[in-house]
Amino acid sequence: MKARVHVMLKDGVLDPQGEAVRHALSTLGFEGVNGVRQGKVIELDLDASDKAGAEAQVDAMCQKLLANTVIERYDVEILT
């Protein structure tokens, strides 16, 4: 079973990299970009065969390692 984790900075935490990307877009002439937030996508290939089990396992991984919940939030997506 495959899982995909999206890790993003929490709302309200200033994202200096996202801001730099926004400035660069504006320099390139892309107008009307009001905000850019940059995150991470982590794909996992798991032994688990049931969706609920995989979800619980990946959630535990996020809590312990994949995300720093002081500043980041995450979403777990189970793909087949």
Partner 1 sequence: MKAAVLVFPGSNCDRDLAEGFRSIGAEVSMVWHKDTSLPEGVDIVGVPGGFSFGDYLRCGAIAAQSPITRALVAHAGRGGYVLGICNGFQVLTETGLLPGALMRNGALKFVCRTVGLRVETSESAFTETYGKGAQIRLPVAHHDGNYVADSEVLTRLNAEARVALRYTEQVNGSVEDIAGVLSGNRRVLGLMPHPERAIEAAQGNTDGAAMFASLTGALALV
Q: Pick from 28, 41, 52, 65: which binds partner 1 (CB under 8 A)?
A: 65
The reply to whether 13 sits near partner 1 by the rule CB under 8 A is yes
In the chain, beta strands by DSSP E: 2-9, 40-45, 72-79
Smallest gap from residue 78 Cβ to partner 1 (A): 21
Nearer to partner 1, 26 or 68 (CB): 68
Nearer to partner 1, 52 or 65 (CB): 65
Euclidean distance between CA atoms 50 and 78, whole angstroms: 10
Determine the residue type at 56. A
Which residues fall within 8 angstroms of residue 65, CB to CB, at 6 or more apart?
Answer: none
Chain residues in the site for partner 1 (CB under 8 A): 13-14, 16-17, 20, 64-66, 68, 70-71
